[in-house]
Amino acid sequence: MKRRISEKSKKDILDAAREVFSEKGYSKTTIREVAKLSEISVGGIYLYYKNKEELYTELTSEQMKTFLMYTEALRNKQPLTALKSLIEGYLDYAIKWTKLVSMHIKEHDLKLKKPLKKEFLAAQRRLLSDILTNGIKKGVFRNINCNETADVILFSLRGMILAYISGDIKTPRKQGDFFYKLILNGLKRMDK
């Protein structure tokens, strides 16, 4: 098999898996359904993934890597821009991938996902803490505990996403703007 063909096949499998997992969740998804949607035989899928767990893990890992690459680029931006972009990025992701995010929330206790979630959260916490530290150094933010503040912001964002997924928030970008202004009220130096 040519490399280009195998890369396309793998992408087709992951795209199909994203759709099926989003619709049915991990436990109700079968390799057969992914095969049908990807138009690749069940045996063809097993050439790339030894089981459903490995497929799900790679899909989840790829989604997290993509988001981490986007957010990592914020590290070098001005603190106010970086903070606003991070909030917008979280909400935009939830809007774009609503079904996938919903499935991750419903299956939050899935054991195979726990190491990935822990790694993702730690990376986001470090990034946000660095953005806040940078803001303090530049005199934009007052002196705060950056790790604890990063946790409050991240967990608040998760709550907003949950509220959006459950239908309690209809305009997440509007709420995100309000959240950003609220956070700034607590972070900004009073003499600025």
Q: What is the pLDDT of residues 63-90, one digit of tens each?
A: 999 999 999 999 989 999 999 999 999 9
37-46, 100-109, 118-127, 131-140: the lowest-pLDDT one: 100-109
- Is 56 in a helix, a strand, or coil? helix
In degrees and rounded to multiples of 5, residue 41 shows phi and psi of -65, 155
Confidence (pLDDT) at 23: 93
pTM of the predicted model as reported, rounded to 2 decimal places: 0.85
Q: Is the pLDDT of residue 11 over 90?
A: yes
For 151-191, give the secondary structure using H, E and C.
Answer: HHHHHHHHHHHHHHHCCCCCCHHHHHHHHHHHHHHHHECCC
* Predicted local confidence at residue 112, as pLDDT: 86
Distance CA 69, CA 166 (A): 27
Residue (of 49, 54, 56, 36) closest to 10 by Cα position: 49
In this prediction, residue 5 has a pLDDT band, given cuts at 50, 70 and 90, of low
Write the pLDDT tens digit of every residue in 78-129: 999 999 999 999 999 999 999 989 888 888 888 888 899 899 999 999 999 9
Whether 28 shows a pLDDT value over 80: the answer reads: yes
Residues in CB range of 81: below 8 A, 6 or more apart:
74
Q: Which two tokens stand for residue 4?
A: 């280009």
